[in-house]
Amino acid sequence: MQNLPRALVSLAALCIGSSAVAQQPEARAAAYAAIDPVFARIMAGDHMPGLVYGVVADGKLAYVRALGVQDTKTNTPVTADTVFRIASMSKQFAALATLRLRDAGKLSLDAPAERYIPELAKLRYPTTDSPKIRVRDLLSHAAGFVTDDPWGDRHLAMTEEELSRFVAAGVPMSRAPGMAYEYSNFGYALVGRLVTNVSRQNYADYVTAQFFKPLGMTATSYDYRKIPDTRRAVGYRWENDAWVEEPVLGPGTFGAMGGVLTSANDYAKYVAWVLSAWPPRDGAEDRILARASVREISRPANFAIVQPSIVEGGCARTASYGYGVVPYHDCVLGFHFAHSGGLPGYGSNVLLIPARGLAVFAFANRTYAPASRAVREAAMLLVQSKQFPQRPEPVSQGLAAMAAAAQHIYAAGDVLVERQALAVNFLLDRGAELRNRELADLRQKVGACVPQPVEPDTAMAASVTWKCERGTLKVTLLLAPTTPPTLQRLEFTP
């Protein structure tokens, strides 16, 4: 900020602060306890033999509870170390593996998928003007394949040879690629094949080596045979008022879409790692995957829709699909992303709110157990408790200086005392005479003000609430894209 007057830089320090409020352990404990009835209710109402749920906050598994049994024959209780299938929540790992290979220069998301999966070269497209399926189309469910939840679930054990024969025999499509979102487990089986071919090792081995092991997820696997029976949650369906054990599925090539088995203690390590990619910042990069690439999975990649609230007290939300997760935005949680998992014998969900460093997840051992509603309700309760505030954005030097300029303008009652801080449009949009009359009226109404901490929206925009002699004043700043920084908009609102 060498081009700014020294007085403004020193005054800017008065405006820098954090809006975060220290959270009391007792209040946090009460917030956690408030979600317990939510999960107890769905466990009883939806006939779940066992359930585990957890909250990740402050970079760790901050709260975890286990209910019921992992095996109805032995009545072994569920614990945070019980291993569940998480079904389609596995897609996140396939997506992250693809991005890791992209970052290494080994593939392009915009390349035709057939470059890495030769069997697709003979795919018959539904129209002569269909574009070829790109890698990003597979990741975002825009390849044109039919929705296949019930069918895909039963193919976890498909071998590599069987997948090759299946593709070679011809795969009918719903529509031309890139025309709409349509959830495809088969599409993610192809993502697994892509990872296998490009990395030159089985996708499950690649994910294990590059993600599970570095994260310390020692109880996590794509192969149920590697999980001791004493720790594995047996899967059941509820039929004729009784639990019926489901057959064990996999492992195989379809596991990329839904084959991961993990525990609450293990999965929390992964969730904390994902959340640690926010906010963007300077400093050493992550050794597993670049932070920007981790954040990339949550970027809406295709066709946004508006959905009604699924829980009481909620609001409508926008939804799209990223890479292995569903990005949402609503009036309670703000931006967040989530994904469900459902297989014969299992149901799960995870929801992450990166601006708050907060996530909720749940695993159950009942077929397609509807965990998403409870997870969302729990997340809303935690946010509404006000014990998990948004992480404060850092205040840029430019914002701090312009906040100081705004304080000088108000104190003087004259926008021209900071003429060098005004962008070229500022006085053209509303002249100095009019602005100064407005300032005089405000000063008469609320009196002198004391600057308070800046609350940044971005490095270039912020709002500041000043405490004044007769009330408060909201100051809104928007910087112009100039060096040194200048104000393109400055509004004072009582």
Query: Could you read off the pLDDT of 378-407 as tens digits, one per residue?
Result: 999 999 999 999 988 889 999 999 999 999
Same domain, residue pair 374 and 428 = no
- Say if residue 479's pLDDT is above 50: yes
Of residues 22 and 193, more confidence is placed in 193
For residue 19, the model assigns a pLDDT of 38
449 within some domain: yes
Q: Which CATH number does the domain housing residue 345 bear?
A: 3.40.710.10
What is the rounded distance in angstroms from the CA atom of residue 92 to the CA atom of residue 351?
13
- Say if residue 417's pLDDT is above 80: yes
Same domain, residue pair 367 and 449 = no
Q: Name the residue range of residue 83's domain.
A: 37-391
Give the confidence band of 23 by pLDDT, cuts at 50, 70, 90.
low
Same domain, residue pair 358 and 455 = no
What is the rounded distance in angstroms from the CA atom of residue 427 to the CA atom of residue 480?
14
Last residue of a domain, one of 391, 409, 441: 391
- Say if residue 375's pLDDT is above 60: yes
**pTM exceeds cut of 0.85:** yes
Q: Classify 53 as helix, strand or coil.
A: strand
Same domain, residue pair 73 and 179 = yes
Same domain, residue pair 306 and 429 = no
23 within some domain: no
* Sequence-ordered list of residues with C-beta below 8 angstroms from that of 71, at least 6 positions apart, any chain: 233, 234
What is the rounded distance in angstroms from the CA atom of residue 366 to the CA atom of residue 344?
8
For residue 419, the model assigns a pLDDT of 97
Count CB neighbours of 385 within 10 A: 16
413 within some domain: yes
What is the rounded distance in angstroms from the CA atom of residue 330 to the CA atom of residue 399?
28
For residue 2, the model assigns a pLDDT of 34
Same domain, residue pair 419 and 326 = no
Sort 404 into a burial class: Cβ within 10 Å, 0-12 / 13-18 / 19+.
Answer: buried
Last residue of a domain, one of 348, 370, 391: 391
DSSP 262-279: EEHHHHHHHHHHHHTT-S
91 within some domain: yes
DSSP 374-416: HHHHHHHHHHHTTSSPPPPPPPPHHHHHHHHHHHHHHHHT-GG
330 within some domain: yes
- Say if residue 8's pLDDT is above 60: no
**Dihedral sign, CA of 388, 390, 391, 395?**
negative
Q: What is the mean pLDDT of residues 327-353?
A: 97
Q: What is the mean pLDDT of residues 198-216?
A: 98
31 within some domain: no
485 within some domain: yes
Q: What is the mean pLDDT of residues 84-103?
A: 98
Same domain, residue pair 94 and 237 = yes
**Average predicted confidence (pLDDT) for the chain:** 93
Domain count, the chain: 2
Same domain, residue pair 413 and 375 = no
For residue 380, the model assigns a pLDDT of 96
For residue 210, the model assigns a pLDDT of 98
Nearest to 116 by CA among 104, 128, 101, 130: 101
Cis peptide before 251 (omega within 30 of 0): yes
What is the rounded distance in angstroms from the CA atom of residue 326 to the CA atom of residue 335?
11
For residue 311, the model assigns a pLDDT of 77
For residue 18, the model assigns a pLDDT of 38
Last residue of a domain, one of 391, 426, 446: 391
Same domain, residue pair 98 and 168 = yes
For residue 312, the model assigns a pLDDT of 76
pLDDT digits (tens, 9 = 90+) for 225-284: 999 999 999 999 999 999 999 999 989 999 999 999 999 999 999 999 999 999 999 999
Same domain, residue pair 398 and 385 = no
Same domain, residue pair 387 and 399 = no
Contact 218, 227 (CB under 8 A): no
Same domain, residue pair 95 and 230 = yes
Half-sphere exposure of 93 (CA within 13 A, CB side): 34
What is the rounded distance in angstroms from the CA atom of residue 302 to the CA atom of residue 386?
33
Count CB neighbours of 199 within 10 A: 21
